[in-house]
Amino acid sequence: MLTAAAQERAPSARRPAAWLALAAAVLAAPAVLPPFYVYLGALVLVMGLLAASLNLVLGYGGLYQFHHGVFYGVGAYALALTITRLGWPAWVGILVAPLAAAAAGWAIGVFCVRLTRLYFGMLQISLGSLLWAVALRWYPVTGGDNGIHGIPLPAPLHTLSGAYVFIAVTTGLAFGALWCIVRSPFGATLQAIRDNPQRCQVVGIDVRAHQLLAIVLAAGFAGLAGALYVVLERSVFPTMLFWVLSLEIFVMCLLGGWFTFSGPLVGAALIVVLRAFAGRHTEYWTLILGTILILLIFFMPEGIMGFVGERLRLRASGGAAARRGVAGPDAVGGPARDVTADAGGAAGSGTGRGAPAPAADDAGGAEGARG
Amino acid sequence: MDLTALTSQLLVGLSRAMILFIVSAGLSFVLGVLRVPNVFHGSLYMLGAFVAWTVATRLGEGPGSLWVALLLAPLVVAAVGLVIERTLLARLYQREHLMLILFTFGVMLVLNDLVKLAWGPDYRSVVPPPALQGAVVVAGVAVPRYNLFLLAVGPAVAAALWVFTHRTRVGKIARAAAVDREMVAVLGIDVSRVFALAFLVGCYLAGLGGALVAPTTSITLGMDHTIIIEAFLIVTIGGLGNIWGALVGSLLFGITQSVGLLVWPQFAIVFPYLAVVLVLLVRPTGLLRSVW
């Protein structure tokens, strides 16, 4: 059960050249693309980082982080306030933002991890709504419902291309860090807790400490995304802390595919691009978003990357099984394993599906230790 | 503190609490029986207000127009809710809560834009029926008649809900299904129909809340966003699925807000959230027994 991370190795992860080419293409964008697309690209990266940070607690940690947007808002306000109210340099503010958001994550998480599922989410929503209400009314500091606009930024950041390059590099590093966290022993333990908290407790893992650390880390990354949003837009407003935004981040994860590393980025990209183009033709964007969401839940509950991944695995294992003439349990991601994993509910299906044979041995070992 | 102002604010808070109770009781009932955290409950409340506006303005200046609206709007809303439940939601009961939340969020987004399509983005208002216009002086405080009407309607709805859930066969079955739906199914009862009925009742209450609030506030597109988060928090502090908890939560929420207005006007909206946080820190599963 600790080997869940192994299944996520996308083909491209093994090819550094492909990554370098991708990085070069992303960084070269301002030189070749019109400003609107550069802006859109930066927004995709920011929202992608935000969705990926939610997925750390949601997809990998299995926690109902209902008000993740709060940490995004805290990060954004932290940067905006350090620049406009304290007069600190923006660079310091960008460092302060994830720290402030992580601190908020700790303050909120320390109470929430005592609870499970819906209660966890509801306590988080109430604490988040409290912060939203304060931001909405504390006019002298937060600007109230007007927010703060026209935040001045220093030299390289005050142009769109400068902001874009900074956002691209920062989100690139952040995605790398998230990848390392997910693949680390901590990430593996987190997924084990998601799949079976009781068993983890029994084998001596401090479940709450791991969950709290996940919330703090995710909040930090969300806060960084918030700061990057300020770099891009130069404004903050209380709706960044409002519950509707938090559910929209959920939709991004669902659309792209939770339980996959790349899913949230893909989902965020699709939502941002769709909104930008739909917004040109219609004022009924939420009608479109809602319809997409309902269709997804009925027809593709694993999201796009989950769906694609499943197809790829089925094809790979089907081919292997055909060559050997049997579809044994050791065929990685074999159809037989899919059935059992999916029966365990969506939370389990992410790891269970395609987990290699040693996973079962691990689980057996844990059970043996308990017995 | 000025005693007159305090009394006046308490009465405002109480009548606001009655609206909150009617809406969150519906949410709580659905949450208890169907185990569905229905995010579009707030949209149905908004729909109720808009339908009430349409009915009241279509009927014109007649003295009875708002009474008709109060009867008709919740029925329209309940019908909309039933259609959604039968065609879509009923297929999803086996899914986990997160999927149900996201599905109902999707319906909320769709409903909001449909309301926008049908009524446009303008602010609207309706006047109370002539019998409920003006104010009455109670204990030296001028209280709008409509607020007194709300103070009567709230307990009446609570009583009706109690009779329904404790004295009717169908209500008892619904309560039993909230506790153990498998057992109810084993007894040969069509749980699917019980769910449909419970959802119908929940939606009716959302629509009733919207129709009742219409004369007291401007009817706008954003009104669902506020009410649904308030209703969810009320239901949580009361104990998920516990209708009396919804009453306690509504009173706490309504009164902290209106009295907070006297204490620190600028931060009045912060007080109810603060109260909710304090309650949940002490009793994370709510003040009264949760059926979850």
- Complex ipTM: 0.89
Looking at residue A358, what is its pLDDT? 35
**Whether the Cβ atoms of residue B199 and residue B16 lie closer than 8 Å to each other:** no
A255-273 pLDDT, tens digit per residue, is 988 888 888 999 999 999 9
Q: What are the contacts of B184-187 at 24+ separation with CB within 8 A? A: none
Q: Which residues of B touch A114 (CB under 8 A)?
A: 284
Dihedral over alpha carbons B37, B161, B111, A44 (to 10 degrees): -20
Distance of residue A297 Cα from the nearest chain B Cα, in angstroms: 7
- Map residue B182 onto helix, strand or coil: helix
Tokens 């860090």, residue?
Answer: A177
Looking at residue A320, what is its pLDDT? 56
Kindly give the confidence (pLDDT) of every residue in chain B, 292 residues in length, as a single tens digit, with 9 standing for 90 and above.
Answer: 578 888 888 888 999 999 999 999 999 999 988 888 999 999 999 999 999 999 988 887 666 788 888 999 999 999 999 999 999 998 888 888 888 999 999 999 999 999 999 998 889 988 888 778 888 887 778 888 899 999 999 999 999 999 998 888 888 888 888 888 888 888 888 888 889 999 999 999 999 999 999 888 889 998 999 899 999 999 999 988 888 899 999 999 999 988 888 888 888 888 999 999 899 888 888 888 877 5
Looking at residue A95, what is its pLDDT? 93
Q: Could you tell me the pTM of the whole model?
A: 0.85
In this structure, of A42-51, A109-118, A177-186, the range with the lowest mean pLDDT score is A109-118
Distance of residue B267 Cα from the nearest chain A Cα, in angstroms: 6
d(CA B52, CA B75): 11
- Which among A133, A247, A285 has CB closest to B269? A133
What the block records as the tokens of B173 is 């079955």
Q: How many helices (H) and strands (E) does chain B have?
A: 11, 2
Pick from A160, A204, A121, A213: nearest CA to A40 = A160
DSSP letter string, B54-101: HHHHHSTT-TTHHHHHHHHHHHHHHHHHHHHHHHTGGGGTTS-HHHHH
CA distances from A251 to A264, A306, B95 (A): 9, 14, 16
**How wide is the angle at C-alpha B66 spanned by C-alphas B65 and B69, nearest 5°?**
95
Contact A287 B109 (CB under 8 A): yes
Q: Residues with Cβ < 8 Å from B158, sequence gap 6 or more?
A: B21, B25, B243, B247
Distance of residue B275 Cα from the nearest chain A Cα, in angstroms: 10
Contact B108 A290 (CB under 8 A): yes
What the block records as the tokens of B55 is 């009915």
Residue A234 DSSP label: S
A70-99 pLDDT, tens digit per residue, is 999 999 999 999 998 888 888 888 999 999
Q: Which residues of B touch A125 (CB under 8 A)?
A: 229, 232-233
Confidence of residue A348 (pLDDT cuts 50, 70, 90): very low
Looking at residue A367, what is its pLDDT? 34
Task: Report H helices in chain A.
Answer: 16-32, 35-58, 69-84, 90-112, 117-137, 139-142, 160-183, 185-195, 197-202, 207-233, 243-256, 263-281, 285-299, 303-324, 335-343, 346-352, 357-370
The yes-or-no verdict on residue A325 having pLDDT over 80 is no
Contact B269 A287 (CB under 8 A): no
Q: Which residues of B touch A136 (CB under 8 A)?
A: 269
Residue B112 CB: number of other CB atoms within 10 A?
Answer: 23
Contact B292 A118 (CB under 8 A): yes
Mutate to test the interface with A, among B113, B274, B281 (most CBs of A within 10 A): B113
Pick from A196, A253, A237: nearest CA to A65 = A253
d(CA A128, CA A119): 14
The yes-or-no verdict on residue A317 having pLDDT over 80 is no
For the segment A229-255, the average pLDDT, to the nearest whole number, is 91
Contact A290 B117 (CB under 8 A): no
Confidence of residue A5 (pLDDT cuts 50, 70, 90): very low
Pick from A7, A345, A357, A363: nearest CA to A192 = A363
Looking at residue B256, what is its pLDDT? 92
Q: Residues with Cβ < 8 Å from A335, sequence gap 6 or more?
A: A314, A317, A318, A327
Contact B270 A134 (CB under 8 A): yes
Torsion sign over Cα A24, A27, A31, A37: positive
pLDDT averaged over every residue in chain A: 80
Q: Is A301 on the interface with B (CB under 8 A)?
A: yes
The yes-or-no verdict on residue A145 having pLDDT over 50 is yes
Highest mean pLDDT among A27-36, A359-368, B243-252 belongs to B243-252
d(CA B247, CA B238): 8
Looking at residue A141, what is its pLDDT? 85
pLDDT top residue among B186 and A325: B186
Looking at residue B4, what is its pLDDT? 83
Q: Is B283 on the interface with A (CB under 8 A)?
A: no
